[in-house]
Amino acid sequence: MEVTIERILPGGLGLAHAEGKTVMVALAAPGDRLRVQIDRVKGNVSFASIEEILTPSPLRVEPPCPYFGRCGGCDFQQMHYQAQLEAKAEIIKDCLRRLARIENIPDFQITAAPNPWHYRSRAQWQYDSIRQTLGYFESGSRQLCDVAACAVLAPELENTLESLRARMQEGLLPDSARDFRAVVGDEAVSIAPSIRSPTVREGSDSIKDSAEIRDITRTIHGETYRLNAESFFQANDGLLPQLIDTAIGEASGETALDLYCGVGLFTLPLARRFKHVVGVESDPAAASFARENLANARLTNAEVAIRDVGVWLDDVKRHDLSRLSEESAAVLQGQMDFVLLDPPRTGAESRVIAGVLGLKPRRISYVSCDPATLARDLKKLLAGGYTLHSLAAFDMFPQTHHVETVVHLVVA
């Protein structure tokens, strides 16, 4: 089947119509004339892969990565960088119109990454001890693409990947490991799970296992964060200062709530703007780091609750404040000035949105890495009495269809 790609859809697939069918094509560029193979059909939609590029789009470039098309990590390398940004802007608009039913979308721009290559300071590599392969899953499968080098890794992680491969070839990686996570710090790299470090004793070739995962520090926008490879942290340092500034904006006042606070990326700067801040995080290790980071910054006006966000908000909604500190309980019984939420890619649960609406904050800031789940949640927030005040986007993930979006909502 021959098709012409009209535009890029949320999820990164190219849209085409041919022979009375809607066709979605992977790794396409707007304007491509392609011969495609139908891989599967779902309802009235056919999903296809490229067999031959008949006429390349003027937006198309030659992907520099030899694994592109097999590796599932990147799906936008076929387009030049400005075309990637334009496609992401359209993805955001499409989701807001179609899912959130927002017709008058505020003007916005996508802030480009300072470096669209070698930017990732956090990574996860899959490991197969039997086949001795290390890399990323192939697109749409659990097959492993063995990767010797990755064009989007920061140099420190590129070196780490090379080191892991060398250890793999020497038989020094734990057979029980299924993947390795790594994150760059100011002076070192943290890897999880820990790997064996050769320590040769006199007259011996014994190998000693590292007992602990190394903690590192990251200095971002004047704040220092302690974390390790098991903690979530944003992967593109180059855009983090702008992201933090935009997410918080000019907000200040008495009280702020930071939901899904992680190790405290937004909690620390919020504590410098508000008299009292409460962070909520379900992961005990991340929450512990957030508490430590606040203490190291000597910020005594903030606390972190180690609790599932939805459960915590349910307690607040029921006025069950027994598990909260006296100070937080008092704060939550008053008017909340500012709520910031930065949920995972799946978005916020319905009860989280209901809990936020129940607090009736003066302003809401929603940081999202998925325009579709953002739009779904926005629809509920707008129906709950808020209006969209501003919208911004950041290209935290160049060479992929993913994009970070920040929206501010105010009482209608």
Decide if 261 is catalytic.
no
Cα torsion angle, 284, 260, 347, 16, sign? negative
Token duo for residue 238: 């180059």
SS3 for 381?
helix
Cα separation, 383 vs 364, in Å, equals 14
DSSP string for 361-385: -SEEEEEES-HHHHHHHHHHHHHTT
- Distance, in Å, from the CA atom of 212 to the CA atom of 306, rounded to the nearest integer, reads 23
* Cα angle, residue 375 at apex, residues 372 and 376 outer, rounded to 5°: 90
What is the three-class DSSP state of 280?
strand
Domains of the chain: 1-60 (2.40.50.140), 122-217 (no CATH), 236-411 (3.40.50.150)
> Which residue from 144, 108, 177 is spatially nearest to 371, judged by alpha carbons?
108
DSSP 3-state of 142: coil
Own/partner pairs, 61-64, CB within 8 angstroms, 24+ separation = 64/151
Q: What is the pTM of this model?
A: 0.92
Give dist(CA 412, CA 410) in Å, integer: 6
d(CA 380, CA 348): 11
List the pLDDT tens digit at each of the 412 positions of the chain.
Answer: 999 999 999 999 999 999 899 999 999 999 999 999 999 999 999 999 999 999 999 999 999 999 999 999 999 999 999 999 999 999 999 999 999 999 999 999 899 999 999 999 999 999 999 999 999 999 888 899 999 999 999 999 999 999 999 999 999 999 999 999 999 999 999 999 987 554 433 333 333 344 468 999 999 999 999 999 999 999 999 999 999 999 999 999 999 999 999 999 999 999 999 999 999 999 999 999 999 999 999 999 999 999 999 999 998 887 766 666 676 676 677 779 999 999 999 999 999 999 999 999 999 999 999 999 999 999 999 999 999 999 999 999 999 999 999 999 999 8
Instruction: For residue 90, give the H/E element and its range.
Output: helix 81-98
